[in-house]
Amino acid sequence: MTAADALLWNIERDPVLRTTITAVALLDRAPDWDRLVATLTRGAIEVPRLRQKVVVPPLGLAPPEWVEDPDFDLAYHLRRVRAPAPGTLRSVLDAAGPLSMAGFDRTRPLWEFTLFEDLEGGRAAFVQKLHHSIADGVGGIRLAAAMLDLERDPAAAPAPSLPTARPFSVGDLARRRAERRVRGVARAVTLAPARLAGLATAGRHPLAAVRDFRTMMASAARLLAPAGPTSALLAGRTLGRRFDTLEVPLDALKDAAHAAGCTVNGALLAAVVGGADRYHEKHGAAAEHVRVDMPVNLRGDDDPEAGNRFAPTRFTLPLGLHDPVERMRVVGAIADRWRAEPALALSDVLAGALNALPRPITTGVFASMLKGVDLTITNVPGIPLPVFLAGAEVLREWALAPPSGAALSVALLSHLDTACIGVVCDTGAVHDVDGFVACLVDGFDEVLGGRGVTRLCSA
């Protein structure tokens, strides 16, 4: 495991910090089951991580390892059920919420997909649950792309056959660690000239080098600082989860952002903060700000689909900005400053340092950072083309991001011309979930300025 992946694995000592990612795809019809099995089989061949489980070395003296599961059984990971009555998207979401908080069998690969059939209108829903250590949001979209078609009935492909994996031993783990050490030494030798040149530059300009070091350390301290108190209205952390979904016209959101001179990310933040502000007013709770966690994507085009390439940023956003244009500008500028933090480049180094601590301490550090967060907000670019899953068209796809210690999460996943908004509330922190979602709808309507319709999706 990389340091970032291992960190997401280790902090689940506290189940409130659980990092399970859930996605719900609404399909125009039930996919062909045999084709779906073949599709997932091919996906597991093309993306080996889907056939791998986690092995923790004896006494935890080394990082966890991804190893091929010799007992991999697709039938365990791919399930098929009838949608709960009355067969609406709402009933699927109500079933998916508890599923998302059920722990994975850690002796198997860390993913489970469930097809819900017999929705109203002959539709179906595909609920995808995977551990965050497998991939982040952007990586998850790349994984999904490997299993989707660009037409409903593409040319038939040969029946795939999974490779046979041999059992893994403690000796194999030791061999892997030795190989990594050799690769690490080789890489250090390769980078030595550049590092020596950097040292020489620092020697010629010592004051500048000290300033740069201080800047980086101050940035790292800001990223790792314990969070302050949460909003009193959003206090309390439990394992209860409620899923909700919204739709927003993507072009209207882009136009609103452009008119305010900010990014879509700024418009998203402004809509969610506006909803949170309305929710506090609705319940007569005074608050000057909310604390936000926003992941920053660090993934490059050459990075593999599996694994995590993001860095979390935590900052406060002001409430009480009733002019939506001003709100977009203010919160967008704050987010942009945090996205430019120098220490984001050290995310792997910081993760490695945290992993080196005893697990209870690592978990405690992250609990102090994450449980003081009110809102987790993320924006993930989706697939911009019509796509099909084993003969069924994907009408919508929502990402239901884990709050991981926050009161709730809001995730935007674009799908064609729609911004699909997934909302996950910790029901112990958000006591009036319907009221919060209604306030969130108003927050988006306010940002859009009447140039589109935001609606709850219930079918």
Amino acid code (one letter) for 230: T
User: Which residues does 202 contact at the CB level (< 8 Å), separation at least 6?
Assistant: 208, 209
**Candidate list 77, 131, 132, 415, residue with the active-site label:** 132
* Cβ-based burial of 327 (10 A; exposed 0-12, middle 13-18, buried ≥19): buried
Spatial separation of the C-alpha atoms in residues 120 and 240, rounded to whole Å: 27
Contact criterion met (CB below 8 Å) for 54 and 64 = yes
Residue labelled with tokens 């319907």: 434
Burial 185-210 (b: 16+ CB within 10 A, else e): eeeeeeeeeeeeeeeeeeeeeeeeee
Q: What is the CA radius of gyration of the chain?
A: 23
User: Which residues does 235 contact at the CB level (< 8 Å), separation at least 6?
Assistant: 407, 429
Spatial separation of the C-alpha atoms in residues 456 and 326, rounded to whole Å: 26
Sign of CA dihedral 36, 42, 47, 49: positive
Does the active-site annotation cover 132?
A: yes
Among residues 123, 118, 119, 102, which one has the least CA distance to residue 28?
A: 123
Spatial separation of the C-alpha atoms in residues 238 and 426, rounded to whole Å: 6
Catalytic residue set: 132
